Amino acid sequence: MEPLAREKRDVVRQTQGTDFAMSRVQFAAVPVAAMALATVLLAGAASAQTGDLTQLHAALHLTPAQEDAWRAFSVASQPDPEQQERDRSAREMLAGLTSPQRVDLSIAAVRADLETLERRGAAVKAFYATLSPSQQAIFDRQTAPRSQQP
């Protein structure tokens, strides 16, 4: 089972019988658009985690003038260990919290994720703006979600 599917299942299970409970259908429908957007904008982070960032760099054939923008993009694409620890800690806390506390914790987590997404999105846009049209096509192809790659 994929980690995201496992997390969805765990959240549905943890909220059953609470004021915050929602059906699997409701849970699946709410974040679909947000997850799709996050997947696209955070592609650099996924690439960095799987080693694809090196392949992307090679495929783009960057000019020396583009290297500074690449470095900024690369740094922004790296997973934040502090954020990962906060996420892990929040998941562990869920079981011992009341429904209102779980809602507050979930809202705080979504806000933190949004801040990360905005920071990484700005880095993607700034780097993308330095690319030629042919480099943009390569970037688009190589950072597309795996299910959308040819």
Q: How far apart are CA 4 and CA 57, in angstroms?
A: 27
Q: Is residue 109 part of a domain?
A: yes
Instruction: Give the pLDDT confidence score for residue 28 in this predicted structure.
Output: 45
Q: Is residue 69 part of a domain?
A: yes
Mean pLDDT, consecutive 10-residue segments, the chain of 150 residues?
49 48 45 49 49 89 96 90 86 89 89 91 96 96 75
Q: Is residue 116 part of a domain?
A: yes
Q: Is residue 15 part of a domain?
A: no
| Structural domain that includes position 76 | 31-148
Q: Is residue 78 part of a domain?
A: yes
Domain count, the chain: 1
Give the DSSP letter string of 21-65.
---HHHHHHTTHHHHHHHHHHTHHHHHHHHTHHHHHHHHHT--GG
Place of tokens 């993009």: 73
Burial class (CB in 10 A: 0-12, 13-18, 19+), 92: exposed
- Compute φ and ψ for 98, nearest 5 degrees: -75, 165
Q: Is residue 11 part of a domain?
A: no
Chain-centre distance of CA 6, in angstroms?
A: 16
**Residue 118, SS3?**
helix
Using one digit for the tens of pLDDT, what is the confidence trace for 55-89? 999 999 999 999 999 999 999 988 888 888 988 88
- The CA-atom distances, in angstroms, between 98 and each of 7, 16, 18, 75, 146 are 19, 13, 9, 37, 37
Q: Is residue 43 part of a domain?
A: yes
Q: Is residue 93 part of a domain?
A: yes
Instruction: Give the pLDDT confidence score for residue 80 in this predicted structure.
Output: 84
Token output for 15: 């909220």
